[in-house]
Amino acid sequence: MLRVLLFVATNFAIVTVLYIVLSIFGLTAQTGPGLVIMALLLGFGGSMVSLFLSKWMAKRSMGVQIIEQPQTPFEQWLFEVVQRQSEASGIRMPEVGIFDQPDPNAFATGWNRNDALVAVSTGLLQHMSRDEVEAVVGHEISHVANGDMVTLALIQGVLNTFVIILARIIGGIVDSALRGNDDQGGVGIGYFVVSIIAEIVLGFLASIIVMWFSRYREFRADAGGARLAGREQMIAALRALQRVHEPHDLPAGEFAAFGISGGIGDGLKKLFASHPPLDERIAALESARG
């Protein structure tokens, strides 16, 4: 749940900054075409800024050490695996990195499929065999090749736009009702208060759609990992994750969404999970054997 709250908060913070900038230049509006234009600028601006900054943020927030020149036999092997799989997927080789985390995990991020980053945790290297690590890398390379990062940003941009428009419509309706016969045009303080509250609530609900897409494309990435490294190796990698009792989430935002594992909740919490249950992912791969 904390991961989802942070995910929503990150988008809200970027949109807020953009709103302040637009306000300075007098480009904000409460109704009509001006509202739609403002919502588009804020909505897609927020998601695009997050996308373009994703690799920079990942390196710093996760402490990713980029492998510029492999220093050990294992780094050389990992570098060659990424190179081979990216060539097989028809994409430019991503940057390769390692971050210090005891749990087995990995993620891919970047603003396009030819300028990406694939990073694995130290825990992944400690808990998995080379065949399993290769399957995990294939899973992340598939995220990049499928353009999942860009698609997720576009979906978030559309949702941000609708959230901004609906929040201000709700704010206008409530503000008008509160002022009643005293309405002399313009908007009152109620408009701004209600709009902010509505934007937070609607943004939280919109994250359900984002997480649904995240879960959907995990199955596609698993299938891609199976093609690149072998189906049995991909299944073995997912079972290795089960053996460590559901590793902790990555930090919020696109890093969690593009990790090999993610938090699994029950009931309503499951709506906000970035990844499907590992049992379902394994079953999907096993059913494709035939």
Residue 29 phi, psi (nearest 5): -155, 155
Answer whether residue 165 is part of any domain: yes
Catalytic residue among 140, 199, 218, 254: 140
User: Which residue type, as a one-letter code, is found at position 107?
Assistant: F
Per-residue model confidence (pLDDT) at position 199: 87
Per-residue model confidence (pLDDT) at position 256: 52
Residue numbers of the chain with a pLDDT score lower than 70: 1-12, 22-30, 181-186, 245-268, 289-290
Answer whether residue 200 is part of any domain: yes
Q: Where do the H-state alpha helices sit in the chain?
A: 2-24, 32-61, 73-89, 122-127, 130-145, 148-179, 189-229, 231-243, 254-257, 278-287
State the Cα angle at 216 between 274 and 96, rounded to 5°: 65
Domain, as residue range, for 230: 2-62+131-287
Answer whether residue 33 is part of any domain: yes
**What interhelical angle do 130-145 and 189-229 show, nearest 10?**
130
Beta pairing, strands 65-66 & 106-112: unpaired
Q: How many domains does the chain have?
A: 1
Residue 137 phi, psi (nearest 5): -60, -40
Q: How far apart are alpha carbons 35 and 42 in whole angstroms?
A: 10
Residue 268: how many CB atoms within 10 A of its CB? 9
Per-residue model confidence (pLDDT) at position 5: 43
State the Cα angle at 207 between 205 and 208, rounded to 5°: 75
Answer whether residue 211 is part of any domain: yes
DSSP structural state of residue 25: T
132 is known as an active-site residue? no
Structure tokens at 46: 């927020």
Answer whether residue 57 is part of any domain: yes
Answer whether residue 83 is part of any domain: no
Residue 281 exposed, middle or buried by CB count within 10 Å (0-12, 13-18, 19+)? buried
User: Which residue type, as a one-letter code, is found at position 159?
Assistant: L
Answer whether residue 97 is part of any domain: no
pTM as predicted:
0.81
Per DSSP, what are the bridge partners of residue 279?
none
